[in-house]
Structure 1
Amino acid sequence: MTYDPTGHLLLTPIDKDAPARVRRLRELGLGERPEPAFDEFAHRLADVTGAPFSMVNFIDENRQFFAGLHASEGAHSGTHSGAHSGSDLGAAAASAAGVGGGDARGIGRFMARDHGYCPHVVVRRKALVLEDVYDYPRFAGNPVVDEIGIRSYMGAPLMDRTGVALGTICVVDTGVRPWGRAGLETIKAMAAELMEQIERREDGMP
């Protein structure tokens, strides 16, 4: 097991399906550029869940790419000291990933694979709900906690009809969030809805 200097347990999941995922993403033309339809989906996901930040996230062998991204204007956390503002979160995400790539507001579209919780979701192939990441030693040491200020997370996998987890949809907050059973069912249903859209596009249907 690996620990950071503060004693936090660090575990980035081994992703044996990454090569198959990359092939499938290339077949679908996903994961290399932002798409307005995915940004709109992320906006609706944030609206439905009440989260200040939401993403449609495709993951390859080395990085995560937010093909859909929503960041609420003026989003703030009010639950822990030293909280990051919404604008700080977006800027820190880009900085932490060590790469450029963003929209007109400078929100980072790329993130390293060892940052955040979506890589765990694609390996688990099931939804993950963290109402307070500090409650989970495995996740509390993730770089996004200290570098970006993320305190809560909820994500669900995008399961392709070939059996590959293409990525995730997720919502995050800089404060503790009681997502509850309703939140879990909502994000799972919306992941299924987005996959239907992707499959219709592959089939050439509107």
Structure 2
Amino acid sequence: MSYDPPRPAGRLLLTPEDKDAPARVRRLRRLGLGERAEPAFDAFADRLAEVAAAPYSMVNFIDEEQQFFAGLHTPDGGAKGSDLAATADGAELEVGRYMARDHGFCPHVVVRRKALVLEDVCDYPRFAGNPVVDDFGVRSYLGAPLIDRTGIALGTICVVDVEPRPWGKAGLETIKSMAAELVERLERREGVQGF
């Protein structure tokens, strides 16, 4: 029998088991989502960042292995890389279109199927151990699931900041409202494409 010594509470975070992943992937493929960036999603992420006054925002579709930011807003307006990466001094985020499933908080939102508000991730031992906290300096997160008419959580929309943020009830209502708006757009898109 092997023994693993206890780790600090901040490092106990595991990516949640996602039993709906195969159905989500089938649904995403049927909708033509999660494999390429689209200007409409980038525009939505831009508007989300503006409404939330946040430096980073994403429209995120999640499969069994990774997260794909179909919509992305960064302070510099670019998505040059292919992965989330720290700058040389570790002080800023360089955000690309892909991120591992065990990084960030969106996989938790998809599995929980509820919005998540982390005004300061360091206040929550369950989330403080996530790699994006130490490696990239993420300090606050606000996200909501994109649950379509079939009941599948396709992904999330989210905003993040490198500073603690008092999102409050207004932030929660905003992220939920904008998620509902995007789901409505996705459903209209499905009708137009004849699915």
- Normalising TM by the smaller chain, what interval? 0.7 to 0.9
Does the residue aligned with 2:154 lie in a helix, a strand or coil? strand
The answer to whether the 8 A contact 1:93-1:148 is kept is no
- In 2, the alpha carbon distance for the partners of 1:54 and 1:45 equals 7
* 2:34 paired residue number: 31
* 2:191 paired residue number: 203
- In 2, the alpha carbon distance for the partners of 1:67 and 1:190 equals 16
Matches within 5 A, 1:1-206: 8-73=11-76, 93-95=83-85, 107-204=95-192
The answer to whether the 8 A contact 1:130-1:152 is kept is yes
Distance 1:70 1:184, change over 3 A: same
- In 2, the alpha carbon distance for the partners of 1:123 and 1:141 equals 18
* 2:91 paired residue number: none
Q: What stretches of structure 1 of length at least 5 have no aligned partner? A: 75-86, 97-105
Q: RMSD of the alignment, in Å?
A: 2.5
**Letter of the 2:167 counterpart:** W
* TM-score with structure 1 setting the length: 0.82
Distance 1:2 1:13, change over 3 A: farther
**Number of residues paired by the alignment?**
183
- In 2, the alpha carbon distance for the partners of 1:109 and 1:120 equals 19
* CA apart distance, 1:169: 0.1
- In 1, the alpha carbon distance for the partners of 2:27 and 2:136 equals 30
Does the residue aligned with 1:204 lie in a helix, a strand or coil? helix
Distance 1:122 1:7, change over 3 A: closer
- In 2, the alpha carbon distance for the partners of 1:109 and 1:41 equals 15
* TM-score with structure 2 setting the length: 0.87
* 1:80 paired residue number: none
Deviations 1:137-194 (A, max 9, x none): 0000000001111000000000010000000000000000000000000000000000
**Letter of the 1:39 counterpart:** D
Structure 1 residue ranges (4+ consecutive) displaced by more than 2 angstroms after TM superposition: 1-8, 89-96
Distance 1:15 1:55, change over 3 A: same
Does the residue aligned with 1:27 lie in a helix, a strand or coil? helix
Distance 1:143 1:91, change over 3 A: farther
Does the residue aligned with 2:155 lie in a helix, a strand or coil? strand
Judge which range, 185-194 or 4-13, deviates more: 4-13
Q: What stretches of structure 2 of length at least 5 have no aligned partner? A: 87-93
Distance 1:48 1:7, change over 3 A: closer
Deviations 1:74-125 (A, max 9, x none): 9xxxxxxxxxxxx9x98695348xxxxxxxxx74100000000000000000
